[in-house]
Chains A and B, each alone.
Chain A
Amino acid sequence: GAVVSQHPSRVICKSGTSVKIECRSLDFQATTMFWYRQFPKQSLMLMATSNEGSKATYEQGVEKDKFLINHASLTLSTLTVTSAHPEDSSFYICSARDPGRDYGYTFGSGTRLTVV
């Protein structure tokens, strides 16, 4: 089945630095990937839709200059949290759709970001 690999699984960074999170579709090509954010004991909130070869579409309230998304190939989307602050600490999850499957929206295993 479709596999989405997300890396790193955990990262700790200092305030003011930037962190890059990768989302790869391993056995299929994904023209669209999604990035979610999840706070403890809360639901997944869609941050942005990543489109291969074009600009990402951000949900209302999500700062595009802070959360940079790049979808340079059909198998890789990256989310860069720039100038990280402690309030950016969260669980970030990507998902991708396998166009060969009806409902093939598969999730990565998530990245736990802690900003100290």
Chain B
Amino acid sequence: GQQLNQSPQSMFIQEGEDVSMNCTSSSIFNTWLWYKQDPGEGPVLLIALYKAGELTSNGRLTAQFGITRKDSFLNISASIPSDVGIYFCAGRLNNQFYFGTGTSLTVIP
């Protein structure tokens, strides 16, 4: 399957700090998605990106679809304790999704 490399693998930040994570691929995707997964739950969609260069926000979250279509980043501003979880990027290719390796976020109050 397709390999999506996500970094960093884990982050420990203070409440109020901004967070940035990214995802890169050797393949070109036509859609990039960012999900958050809480323990024992399925992933929940945060942001969807459809075209190269697109920059989309959802509250404190901002994500961008890279120009090369092989990468994407997610920023979280002014982090709060409930931002804790694992964030996954996903690329869509031929109606299938391939997930990144995940970024575990810990927010210290």
Which chain A residues have a beta carbon within 8 Å of chain B's beta carbons?
4, 6, 32, 34, 36, 41-46, 49, 59-60, 91, 93, 95, 97, 102-103, 105-110, 112
Which applies to chain B's interface (DSSP): helix, strand, loop or mixed? strand
B29 at the interface (CB under 8 A from A): no
Contact A107 B1 (CB under 8 A): no
Which applies to chain A's interface (DSSP): helix, strand, loop or mixed? strand
Stretch touching chain A among B13-21, B39-47, B61-69, B71-79 = B39-47
How many contacts A-B (CB < 8 Å)? Answer: 57
Contact A46 B40 (CB under 8 A): no
Candidates A6, A42, A46, A102; contact of B97 at CB < 8 Å:
A46
Contact B31 A103 (CB under 8 A): yes
CB nearest neighbor in B for A61: B1
Contact A59 B1 (CB under 8 A): yes
B6, B44, B45: most-surrounded residue (chain A CB, <10 A): B45
